[in-house]
Amino acid sequence: MNLPVLAFSSGDLNGVGLPLLLKLFSDPRMLNRCTPVLYASGRVVGFYRKELGLQDWNYQTVADASQAQPRKFNLVVCWQDELNLRPGESDPTLARYAEISLRRATEECLQGKAAGLVTLPIDKNLMQSETFRYAGHTEFLEAAVREGLPNAAKARSLMWMVADHLRVATLTGHVPLQEVPARIQADALRAKINDMLASLKLDFGISKPRIAVLGLNPHAGDGGLLGREEADILMPTLRQMRDEGLLVFGPYGADGFWGTGSYSRFDAVLGMYHDQVLIPFKTLAFEQGVNFTGGLPIVRCSPDHGPAFDKAALRKADSSSLLHAIYATVDRIRTRLDQEDLEKNALKRGPKPKELEQSEEN
């Protein structure tokens, strides 16, 4: 199989992302996994190459990802400005360059010039501006797909956190905790589960996925004593979906579910709010965890951590999550290709023999 071309947005230029990326691809074995294309500038790459002592490591400058050279590290120059980089410092002036990189990388993925996107970490607060009013990468990508592709006006993203066989998602995402109960509605729950089922089939190749759903309240409401969301919304919706043949189970009390290792019996877990699944996920798989965006035509992954300015300043960041993000992007690309091939070449049910048709008529 041809090596997939992966687009890498630069993330925060003072964060851990860029030095970790260059350090990983200084090992030539990484170029047997994919063809990388970074969107940044020669000056930025030169700065970190010197910082990391990689003077003997080289890269190829290309006009866009369609010209990417296999077995080489490729750079698309997005700006010529000379920047004052200070690893580990939070610098608002650098957010504009992170946005430039992200927009160019996303654009080339939408144009089919790159097969997948790996986003290096950004500081979400620093990124907020007149041109970037998104809670994070996931929301930005959903908007970019809707605007940039025909027939994608209703595209809906799904934020996964994945590590080996552990996959989690949230019903309400990045919202204040006080807003969570009002957002737990039957239609939203059904839509989220259907999105998860579709992604588990397309992106992970699981033909009959099993999903566990956690309750909102302690002990899943304890029969209504501790809240009515489970009895009034979650249980009836899940029961109806099981009657339709879908393998969705719950609601489970979150503490017991995680404490007993019950997550290992399911292909994915849906929590009601962010910390309910993200805290156990990062406890179990912080160094291997990957943020994957499902539901969109772009295959996108990122490390499950932020720019980590403190570690960038000390030059002590761990590259495990970024490494797994690269592997996960390649895996999702190949799984999607396999699923599309299976669907394209599926056996079609032919017309009935005439004698059978006649016997049925009689």
Are 70 and 185 part of one and the same domain? no
For residue 283, give the CATH number of its domain: 3.40.718.10
Checking if the pLDDT of 362 tops 50, the result is no
Q: Are 339 and 192 part of one and the same domain?
A: no
Q: Model confidence over 203-236: pLDDT tens digits?
A: 999 999 999 999 999 999 888 899 999 999 999 9
Produce one character per residue of 156-192: b if its CB has 16 or more CB atoms within 10 Å, e if not: ebbbbbbbeebbbbbbbbeeeeeebbeebeeeebbeb
Both 75 and 201 in one domain: the answer is: no
pLDDT at 353 over 80: no
Average pLDDT, integer, range 35-50: 97
Per DSSP, the three-state class of 99 is: helix
Q: Is residue 318 one of the residues assigned to a domain?
A: yes
Arithmetic mean of pLDDT, 12-21: 96
The candidate with the shortest Cα–Cα distance to 180, out of 142, 215, 141, is: 215
Q: What is the pLDDT of residue 318?
A: 85
Contacts 24+ apart (CB under 8 A), 218-223: 218/253, 218/255, 219/253, 219/255, 219/256, 220/250, 220/251, 220/252, 220/253, 221/251
Q: Which domain holds residue 234?
A: 165-287
Say if residue 185 is in the same domain as residue 327: no
Between helix 42-51 and helix 17-25 the angle, nearest 10°, is 80
pLDDT band at 356 (very low <50, low <70, confident <90, very high): very low
Q: Are residues 271 and 315 in the same domain?
A: no
The 10s digit of each residue's pLDDT in 266-297 is 999 999 999 999 999 999 998 889 999 999 99
- Choosing from 270, 287, 304, the residue where a domain stops is 287
The verdict on 312 and 204 lying in the same domain is no
pLDDT, average across residues 46-74: 95
Could you give the number of structural domains in the chain? Answer: 2
How sure is the predictor about 357, in pLDDT bands with cuts at 50, 70 and 90? low
Give the containing element (helix H, strand E) for 310: helix 309-314
Q: 72 pLDDT exceeds 50?
A: yes
* Helix, strand, or coil (residue 121): coil
Answer yes or no: do 280 and 335 share one domain.
no
Beta pairing class for 74-77 and 5-9: unpaired
Question: Is 90 exceeded by the pLDDT of residue 332?
Answer: yes
- Is residue 226 a part of any domain in this protein? yes
pLDDT tens track for 185-194:
999 999 999 9
Residues of the chain with pLDDT > 90, as a percent, come to 82
Q: Both 238 and 312 in a single domain?
A: no
Dump pLDDT digits (tens) for 118-136.
999 999 999 999 999 999 9
* Omega prior to 251 cis, within 30 of 0: yes
Same-domain check for residues 99 and 1: yes
Q: Is 70 exceeded by the pLDDT of residue 360? A: no
Across the chain, mean pLDDT equals: 92
Domain match, 3 and 148 both? yes
Judge whether residue 350 has pLDDT over 90. Answer: no
Q: Quick one: pLDDT at residue 347?
A: 61
Q: What pLDDT was estimated at residue 343?
A: 75
